A and B are shown apart, each in its own frame.
Chain A
């Protein structure tokens, strides 16, 4: 599926997306479906029924061997030793300065086998980083462990929306009630996890590439009567923004810490050691100067990435993500601003085409799904 780096890549089911009439667009070096019918229609389908996303661009690393747990424990900011089999954990991958190299999900298959799913644009960087950490830690860990990049051999589909549990049960004959949020079970050549990036209930299914088409077709067959639609990357972005889930390279980068990004819950500063811990402790002691906030527009205008944020004419921050929010019917955004301006209710100006447009800081997430 992949060509040499620097060239445009296609998803393994690219032909299928084209046949379905997908409007294609570029996403981090990949030509992917932006939408099939319309972003607004697909957005509503996921919030009300269900949608299927081909997210096979994501990277898959396997970490295995008797030393795997010890290695990950030394590198990652959450406790690995107490992680049960079948559990998934979201967390940032940090550099020595406590900056965010990537945000990942770690899955424990067995005492000595883990899967790490990483962002497509960071596959090479993350793998190099983990390799170099492994080389540095090899002496102190003693037990052997192996790092494998299987990103080119694995495909990943996300089924999201309130009807996704019913569709998964029908398609695969599994009991979804046994699979809690951020849990997974081995399935066929890979696994099925109750995770997602939309703010809805949902599942992510990883299999070998050769099984991917069949899984896609099975899900569609099972979901046809329930209104399942294929969903593109444009809608993935509006869904995750309403749920205030961060997008790497936009809302997070190597110069932003998890304390600033509002994902303090995804790190454990009281862990004995992990990469970046000292820097984060120092930052916590000093106090952060900027933080991620959500805002909604009061006056007319759509905020976009890199727009400046002002208060009474003074620069206080910038926008990292922004869009019309289809479910909320509002224009919303995420951005970093000075901590003293970050309280919900504070009125700020977003500079849109040279003019200040009134907005206010609000609590995130913008959207929470109704509890059933």
Chain B
């Protein structure tokens, strides 16, 4: 599994990429593997406000639906409509073509609450160790 250093992560397995106040959001390599075959996504509406740690999108496997939480608060600027016709991109390229949405961060202080790749990997080790 692969967790790019330049990204930040959440405990709920989203990743966030920062470019000024623009944040791109997707799900981690670990999350896509756990969910397995992604067959459906429900994307937020462009212009909608999202709140940190609140559901912003939905991803579904053959078996079940999972919420995707906004890593920070703000307004949705763009969504990856390619996922609507090809949801498998989430499995094939979770950090690239499998992105979910882009947003404008309203409170930059929230960025610092996100996990670094190193912290996220530590968390995963604890979670998968029973």
CB closest residue in chain B, given A41: B37
Min Cβ gap A299→B in Å is: 12
- Are B36 and A38 in contact (CB-based, < 8 A)? yes
- Chain A, residues 310-338, CB within 8 Å of chain B (1/0): the string is 00000000000001101000010000000
A309 to B65, CA, bound (A): 18
- Are B62 and A39 in contact (CB-based, < 8 A)? yes
- Are A234 and B58 in contact (CB-based, < 8 A)? no
CB closest residue in chain A, given B36: A38
A266 at the interface (CB under 8 A from B): no
Q: Which residues of B contact A234 (CB under 8 A)?
A: 62-63
The answer, among B37, B42, B60, B65, for a CB contact under 8 Å with A38, is B37
Min Cβ gap B109→A in Å is: 31
- Chain A, residues 271-306, CB within 8 Å of chain B (1/0): the string is 000000000000000000000000000001110100
- Chain B, residues 64-88, CB within 8 Å of chain A (1/0): the string is 1100000000000000000010000
A33 to B119, CA, bound (A): 31
A304 to B84, CA, bound (A): 19
- Chain A, residues 18-42, CB within 8 Å of chain B (1/0): the string is 0000010000000000110011100
- Are B36 and A302 in contact (CB-based, < 8 A)? no
Interface centre among B37, B60, B62, B63 (most CB of A within 10 A): B62
B60-118 contacts to A, CB under 8 A, are 60-65, 84
A39 to B60, CA, bound (A): 13
Q: Which residues of A contact B61 (CB under 8 A)?
A: 39
Q: Which residues of A contact B42 (CB under 8 A)?
A: 300-301, 353
Return 22 A-B CB contacts under 8 Å, by A number: A34-B63, A38-B37, A39-B36, A39-B63, A40-B37, A40-B62, A237-B63, A238-B62, A300-B40, A300-B42, A300-B84, A301-B40, A301-B42, A302-B40, A302-B60, A302-B65, A304-B64, A304-B65, A323-B62, A324-B39, A324-B60, A324-B62
Top 10 closest A-B pairs, CB basis?
A: A324-B39, A39-B62, A40-B37, A302-B40, A38-B37, A302-B60, A324-B62, A39-B37, A234-B63, A38-B36
